[in-house]
Structure 1
Amino acid sequence: MRDLHLTLNQTQRVRLEAALHSLQSLAPAAASAAAVTVADTIPVNHEDNILKGHGTSDQDGEVVATLCGVVERVNKLIYVRTLRARYKPEVGDIIVGRVIEIAPKRWRLEINFSQDAVLMLSSMNLPDGIQRRRTAVDELNMRTIFEENDVVCVSRTLALFRLRLRQLMKATKIAFTLLHLYHSAEVRGFQHDGSLHLQARSQKYGKLERGQLLTVPPYLVKRRKQHFHHLEQYDVDLILGCNGFVWVGEHVVVGDSEKTSTMVDQKTSSSEVETFTPLETRKHICRIANAVRVLSALGFTLTAELIIETAEASVSSNVEINDMLGAEFYVQTAEREAKRRADLLKKKSGTR
């Protein structure tokens, strides 16, 4: 559990401790061995020439952890990856960000990274859907696409750290081949401050409206093939951003370019067009969002299946939306997850 502060009575405390103990006992041995706390000894099997990386130190000939986290190893290099670290981007990630600044030919986004991300005007589809060169008029109309504090879904970090590139070019002679795989035009967009380049070249990417933006630890969102989920029974869209930003909002049907062009032609100012979300849909959004909050506070990996299961459990137990953040529902969720993992382990053991 991370940052979980609940007022529990004695019975709830005993139940929660029992559920957490059961979850810990069900964890794989390899995962338990990889997790370390401060002053834990990291086994290296008496190997020579071990390189001690971030979060480690040498004490009396032993490698000792100086941080709480997970032990990672790359050849001879051993380091500790702290779970409280900020988001570490990788090419191909689906992320959700918030626009913080509009600059010439680009937007700057906050993506829970040590640097702001950059979304170039040339790296996204124009509202009219036509593939053409961006003009000065397009640059003047940037604020009609995204403005400050807008929540945006984008894809594929097109830039890495300059330091990482330099290390790659020094370490191997095929660096230029790897650069070609990332496309030369995109790689030339590196920023001197180490910021990232993003793109939004699909209709499913863009501005997110009529929903809630949640922030969770990035390690709870695993990289998967599908990060966009339409929860049909609730008519709600769920986007699990790899950077720890989770979007829960009203379902939006992605239209084709002709419809988009028509909408642009008929567009009026945002003050004149009022968007209305039905009350039932808003309740569904709040219920799904609270399910994400509960699972995140308990430290469970976020998946669409687990989020739906948690929301459905609150409905079947007649738990009101605001009561989902109460102590009793936290305990019930932990017990339910412990039982689910135990049943899954028994099922795997029975099939062997």
Structure 2
Amino acid sequence: MEEPSFSGLFTPGELITDDPMWMRGHGTYTGQDRKTYSSVAGKLQRVNKLLTVKQLNGRYDPLVGDHIVGRITEVGNRKWSVELGATQDASLQLGSVNLPGGVLRRKSDDDELNMREFLKEGDLLNAEVQMVYQDGGCALHTRSLRYGKLRNGMLCTVPPNLILRQVTQSHDLEGGVEAIIGANGYIWLRQSQGQKPEQQTTRKANGLNRLEQDSDAALIFKDTNDEISIQTRQTISRYYNCIQALADCEMMIFGSRLREIYEASLVYADAAELLKIEVKQDLCRQLK
């Protein structure tokens, strides 16, 4: 019997193994000859006796703990629906949101009536995947001041398979720009959210519980952008073009790589030059 190969790529319809001891997972199917075949193009993965094929390019497959960036599509009964590039929208329960006044505050009927004052259709936010359901849906939460409504920036989308999952998905970059790299392929580039030294000292001393009840919680749902300088706007545009260059060259995207390609792009004074195919390829060749 043929043993499955865990190196290389599989194409749709390609034989994985004819050994019945292996269990079928996502991206596989059993033919009439009881052999296991690949149903997508991707790499074979194994967990004990379970075989799955991770497709190279497709919709986002949520995992618990993922830091994502999404868009509100609907305000429902004590929950929001969030589009994040998966097979279906995620749900964000009212009880899973850190409202002004502290995370431990009980959610009242007034909070339900005022849900659109916190998040409304079209708003962008970053959140964490709290639970994944069997049908592919997931539940989110924003029970931290590092999550919430996104302002002062622009959205860049890339295939989710190009995102390298790291412990920290928020990165302070050169030029006063912060990048929130969602595991779902949505990247938010915004003006860096600087803190005064005395604020940082207070937060470290008080710890997470005190942080959640800080008065800054009201800023999570602020609906207007701050004034952004022309120079910062140009820097954000340069990072956007750098990310598109990495995506076009099918290179993995993470914080240190964004810094590298940004520094390499500075030889081009005009950020619009980064839109040229030959320039994209040249920048990607310079990366480690």
TM-score range, shorter chain: 0.7 to 0.9
In 1, distance between residues paired with 2:50 and 2:147? 38
**Aligned residue among 172, 175, 179 for 1:238:** 179
**Aligned residue among 147, 153, 156 for 1:214:** 156
**Aligned residue among 113, 130, 134 for 1:158:** 130
Matches within 5 A, 1:174-213: 195-213=137-155
Point out the structure with the larger helix share: 1
In 1, distance between residues paired with 2:64 and 2:228? 35
Gaps of 5+ in 2: 200-210
Gaps of 5+ in 1: 1-29, 164-193, 341-352
Matches within 5 A, 1:1-352: 33-38=7-12, 40-42=14-16, 44=17, 47=19, 49-53=21-25, 54-56=27-29, 64-129=37-102, 131-155=104-128, 157-162=129-134, 195-231=137-173, 233-253=174-194, 257-260=213-216, 275-315=226-266, 317-337=267-287, 340=288
Shift of 1:215: 1.3
Secondary structure of the structure 2 residue equivalent to 1:296: helix
Shift of 1:142: 1.6
Point out the structure with the larger strand share: 2
Identity rate of aligned residues, in percent? 31
The aligned amino acid for 1:126 is L
Distance 1:58 1:195, change over 3 A: closer
Shift of 1:124: 1.4
Q: Which has the higher contact order (CA 8 A, sep 6+)?
A: 1
Alpha-carbon contact 1:107-1:120 (below 8 Å) kept: yes
Alpha-carbon contact 1:215-1:246 (below 8 Å) kept: yes
In 2, distance between residues paired with 1:81 and 1:199? 26
In 2, distance between residues paired with 1:109 and 1:90? 15
The aligned amino acid for 2:268 is N
Query: 2:205 maps to which residue?
Result: none
Query: 1:186 maps to which residue?
Result: none
Alpha-carbon contact 2:100-2:218 (below 8 Å) kept: no
TM-score (norm 1): 0.68
In 1, distance between residues paired with 2:214 and 2:52? 52
The aligned amino acid for 1:36 is F
Tell me how large the CA RMSD over aligned residues is. 2.8
Segments ≥4 residues shifted beyond 6 Å: 59-62, 261-264
Computing the radius of gyration from Cα coordinates, the structure with the larger value is: 1
Query: 2:202 maps to which residue?
Result: none
